[in-house]
């Protein structure tokens, strides 16, 4: 076989591998759309959602294992291991998980987590070794962009239903949950999803062209409005920080990106002003958050700040200090927390991993996420990698105030895989 023929064959294998690798990401995007349709047309979906949604995500995970195996079988460079710093960090993270679980016990809760969150050891391994691996094998800029468009489209459809429920007619399945949550179980969870999509859409608007840029701009405005109505303050701050970074990078990049960044800033100001006028609750939330922040800075230990998060973090930190190396195991601190804080999770993902698996595990996890984001930002030849890094960054910042959930956490690992993965 000649060199030219071998090159053509390798390109064909890469194309097939990329198409196979993008399937888990696309299926994950399809699940919220299916849930939305069920919420709209099935009257009993309000109660059924807590069973159907996790089952659908677990089904996608099983299909993703098949996709991963198929991608691995199509690996062209079998003699070369493409391992970067992010991979090393997550390998060490999984080692810490295994050691912690061996020490603390392989209970059902440790392996599959509690019903509601569904992020146990099994799921974390799926996220790391399936979702992140597959998305890192996509390669094609066109396929990565197709995933971004799919994600934004689903988010816009969910937001449209969310606006309809808020302003026009009530959707029964949306209205028996805590806070404005749309198809998600809790308003904060919808916020995690929104902040991730807002970052991706802002990246698509600033760094893409044509229909993708237009779609990014539309989804960006829609997401901002939905996040304002959602009123998840941690996600709002995460979005603000991520958008500030996107703005700075766009200004540095050149005239076209600079003009888009300025228009994006105007849109942020207009949408924010309109939503503050419309929502008295949002105005009250900002005032309360500002006052709580001032209290913390001044040394007034208001344990109720951030809906009690400040007190929960201090409480959990004291328990982490007792078992700093291997933690309490997955969900192992839940009952202890519930007795004193009326919640079972620290509402901070790095702190959660420190409590579950030990401080080293949390350090490796944070280092892996940051490494993936930095690698994506430095991939000048791949705009898709940069856009994915924005989404991963936004999720990570919001996770400092949030809980890892089965229907939001996988997006982080998919975006990290794209940010730090193959570039064609």
CA distance 27 to 150: 10
CA distance 326 to 313: 18
pLDDT of residue 137: 87
Tokens representing 413 are 């690992």
Q: Which strand (E) or helix (H) includes residue 118? A: none
CA distance 101 to 332: 10
pLDDT of residue 194: 97
pLDDT of residue 9: 40
Sign of CA dihedral 297, 299, 301, 304: negative
Indicate the domain borders of the chain. 3-75+85-420
Tally of CA atoms within 13 A in the half-sphere of 40 that contains its CB: 14
pLDDT of residue 299: 60
pLDDT of residue 331: 85
Taking alpha carbons only, the member of 419, 413, 424, 423 closest to residue 68 is 413
Q: How many residues does the chain have?
A: 424
What number of other Cβ atoms are within 10 A of residue 244's Cβ? 12
Identify how many contiguous H helices and E strands the chain contains and give both numbers: 18, 0
Q: Which strand (E) or helix (H) includes residue 198? A: helix 187-207
DSSP SS3 for 61: helix
List C-alpha distances in Å: 312 to 233, 309, 359: 17, 5, 17
pLDDT of residue 10: 46
Taking alpha carbons only, the member of 211, 236, 183 closest to residue 394 is 236
pLDDT of residue 306: 55
Taking alpha carbons only, the member of 189, 167, 221, 145 closest to residue 35 is 189
CA angle 157–391–361, rounded 5-degree value: 125
Q: Are 161 and 123 in contact (CB under 8 A)?
A: no
Per-residue pLDDT of the chain (424 residues; tens, 9 = 90+): 445 444 344 445 566 888 888 999 999 999 999 999 999 998 778 888 889 999 999 999 999 999 988 888 876 554 455 778 999 999 999 999 999 999 998 888 888 888 888 999 999 999 999 999 999 889 889 999 999 999 999 999 999 999 999 889 998 888 877 778 999 999 999 999 999 999 999 999 999 888 999 999 999 999 999 998 888 888 999 999 999 999 999 888 776 778 888 888 888 888 878 877 777 777 776 777 677 676 666 666 656 555 667 778 888 888 899 899 998 988 888 777 777 766 778 889 999 999 999 999 999 999 999 999 999 998 877 899 999 999 999 999 999 998 999 999 999 999 999 998 876 5
CA angle 115–47–399, rounded 5-degree value: 45
Q: Residue-wise over 258-271: b if at least 16 C-beta within 10 A, else e?
A: eebbeebeebbeeb
pLDDT of residue 308: 64
What number of other Cβ atoms are within 10 A of residue 288's Cβ? 14
């Amino acid at each position: 076989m000649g060199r030219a023929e071998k090159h053509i064959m390798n390109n064909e294998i890469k194309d097939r591998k990329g198409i196979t690798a993008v399937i888990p990401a696309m299926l994950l995007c399809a699940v919220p759309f299916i849930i939305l349709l069920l919420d709209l047309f099935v009257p009993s979906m309000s109660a059924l959602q807590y069973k159907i949604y996790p089952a659908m995500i677990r089904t996608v995970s099983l299909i993703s294992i098949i996709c991963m195996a198929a991608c691995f079988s199509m690996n062209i460079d079998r003699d070369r291991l493409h391992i970067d710093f992010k991979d090393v960090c997550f390998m060490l993270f999984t080692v810490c998980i295994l050691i912690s679980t061996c020490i603390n016990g392989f209970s059902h809760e440790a392996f599959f987590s509690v019903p509601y969150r569904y992020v146990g050891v099994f799921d974390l391994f799926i996220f790391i070794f399936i979702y992140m691996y597959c998305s890192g094998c996509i390669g094609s800029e066109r396929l990565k962009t197709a995933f971004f468009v799919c994600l934004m489209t689903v988010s816009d459809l969910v937001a449209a239903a969310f606006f309809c429920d808020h302003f026009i007619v009530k959707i029964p399945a949306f209205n028996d949950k805590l806070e404005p949550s749309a198809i998600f179980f809790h308003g904060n969870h919808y916020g995690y999803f929104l902040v991730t999509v807002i970052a991706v859409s802002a990246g698509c608007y600033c760094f893409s062209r044509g229909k993708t840029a237009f779609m990014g701009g539309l989804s960006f405005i829609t997401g901002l409005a939905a996040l304002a109505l959602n009123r998840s303050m941690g996600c709002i701050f995460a979005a603000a920080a991520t958008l500030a970074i996107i703005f700075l990078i766009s200004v540095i990049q050149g005239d076209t990106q600079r003009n888009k960044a300025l228009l994006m800033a105007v849109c942020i100001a207009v949408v924010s002003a309109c939503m503050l006028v419309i929502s008295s609750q949002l105005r009250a939330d900002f005032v309360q958050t500002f006052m709580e922040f001032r209290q913390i800075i001044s040394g007034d230990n208001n344990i109720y700040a951030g809906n009690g998060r400040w007190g929960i973090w201090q409480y959990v930190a004291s328990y982490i200090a007792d078992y700093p190396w291997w933690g309490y195991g997955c969900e192992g601190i839940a009952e202890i927390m519930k007795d004193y804080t009326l919640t079972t999770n620290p509402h901070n993902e790095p702190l959660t991993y420190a409590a579950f698996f030990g401080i080293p595990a949390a350090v490796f996890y944070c280092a892996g996420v940051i490494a993936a984001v930095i690698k994506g930002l430095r991939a000048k030849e791949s705009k898709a990698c940069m856009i994915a890094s924005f989404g991963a960054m936004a999720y990570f910042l919001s996770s400092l105030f949030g809980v890892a959930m089965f229907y939001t956490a996988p997006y982080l690992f998919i975006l990290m895989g794209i940010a730090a993965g193959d570039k064609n």
